[in-house]
Structure 1
């Protein structure tokens, strides 16, 4: 059994998308494949303020569900062209990876032979911090969010 995801049909009009979708369905079914009517979705990007086209996108007589955003090739595309949701998801994925790795990376009891702390640059950061070259590497936890914390010198002034 074969699966194909993330097929994009682009056209200037809704009627053109309907024609392409029907052609796609007929071609797949003639080769023995099936196009899922329940999982097929579409997103319409209407960047023109003057042209509003009515009607639905349909697949073999069944109306296709319209979505406001899609995940396509690792990015989130939104119908209004914004990137807010994509940026939010990338930031949360980065914090998730940091939380997964920080317990091992920052623990000096874990031997370096277990994993390559040197390859990840942890040793270089620690040496630079000890020499006073790196000042803002610690993170403070306030109000449920991680924010940079200043490192104070001996006299209380910010380093």
Structure 2
């Protein structure tokens, strides 16, 4: 808890992952509102959906400890974290053969209660250098990125600014040991003007431009509207309803149980992200 209390004030408010009171719907809502406000003001929005290659497995332990020291984490807590991470070894066993043991020098540990906060702190160092660059101004505030853990969206009003953000994110990520997957990192231009193209690159590789993208389970389209997402929600809910129809129409099962099944298995699928529909 002491370490967590040191870390959490350092996490930017554009991070919605592993943060108390926030979740995937928070990130979806923020992105939808940014899109709505920009289109109201006749502005285009250039988005880059970053995909990291095994982000949680590539965290450098020595960099992580360095960041904790900079936060003046208590020496006793720091020693405990070092014991958890440093000098851990692993080997691969296939049938009766075992490889030599290797020291693990990267990655946050799965199942550790501190891992989410440690990763957020680590990724914060990468994105912090974007603060001085332009993005989209909403409510008097400049926003150029939105995150849910390692799911990162870079946001700008034109392709030149977005390219700058991509370059900085790629450089800082590489410095910290993380790698942008250029094959899965994709861009989108949201505008009232159709068919706007943007040639953007990561390390010389041209990024694929999409007219729709599934972000945290919801469909974002280049026109900025929700029609495609709502239709997809209805279709998914119908499919699940048909699968559960024998249970939901079984008169031998109490109406209370059937209602609970409907609320548990159908409603969440239908209504996910509805807070952001406009």
The alpha carbon displacement at 1:120 in A equals 3.8
Question: How far apart in 1 are the matches of 2:245 and 2:187?
Answer: 40
Residues 89, 25 of structure 1: CA spacing in aligned structure 2 closer, same or farther, 3 A cutoff?
A: same
Aligned to 1:2: 55
**1:27 correspondence with 2:172:** yes
Per-residue deviation, 1:54 = 6.4
The alpha carbon displacement at 1:53 in A equals 7.4
Question: Post-superposition shift, 1:121?
Answer: 3.3
Partner SS for 1:42 = strand
User: Partners of 1:17 and 1:67 in 2: how far apart?
Assistant: 15
Cα gap change, 1:106 to 1:56, in 2 (>3 Å): same
- TM-score, structure 2 as length reference: 0.37
Q: Which has the higher helix share?
A: 2
- In 2, the alpha carbon distance for the partners of 1:121 and 1:77 equals 31
Query: Is there any run of 5+ residues in structure 1 with no aligned partner, and where?
Result: 123-159
Contact 2:186/2:210, CA 8 A, preserved across alignment:
yes
Which residue number in structure 2 is paired with residue 102 of structure 1?
Answer: 245
| Larger mean Cα displacement after TM superposition, 72-81 or 90-99 | 72-81
Larger RCO (alpha carbons 8 Å, 6+ apart): 2
Measure, in 2, the Cα distance between the counterparts of 1:102 and 1:54. Answer: 45
Specify the structure having the higher radius of gyration (Cα). Answer: 1
- Indicate conservation of the 8 Å contact 2:170/2:180, yes or no: yes
1:82 matched to 2:225? The reply is yes
Relative to structure 1, is the Cα distance of residues 53 and 105 closer, same or farther in structure 2, using a 3 angstrom cutoff? closer
Structure 1 SS opposite 2:237: helix
Q: CA 1:55 to 1:96, structure 2 compared with 1: closer, same or farther past 3 Å?
A: closer
Residues 95 and 6 of structure 1: CA distance in aligned 2, closer, same or farther (over 3 Å): same
C-alpha distance in structure 1 between counterparts of 2:178 and 2:155, whole Å: 22
CA deviation string 1:35-54 (max 9, x = no partner): 111111110112368xx976
RMSD value, Cα: 2.6
Please tell me whether residue 18 in structure 1 is matched to residue 184 in structure 2.
no
* 1:69–1:78 contact (8 Å) kept in structure 2: yes
Q: Where does the alignment leave 5 or more consecutive residues of structure 2 unmatched?
A: 1-53, 57-148, 261-278
Match of 1:118 in 2: 256
Match of 1:71 among 198, 214, 224: 214
> What's the offset of the Cα at 1:82?
2.8
**CA distance in structure 1 between the partners assigned to 2:238 and 2:182 by the alignment:** 37
Count of residue pairs brought into register by the alignment: 115
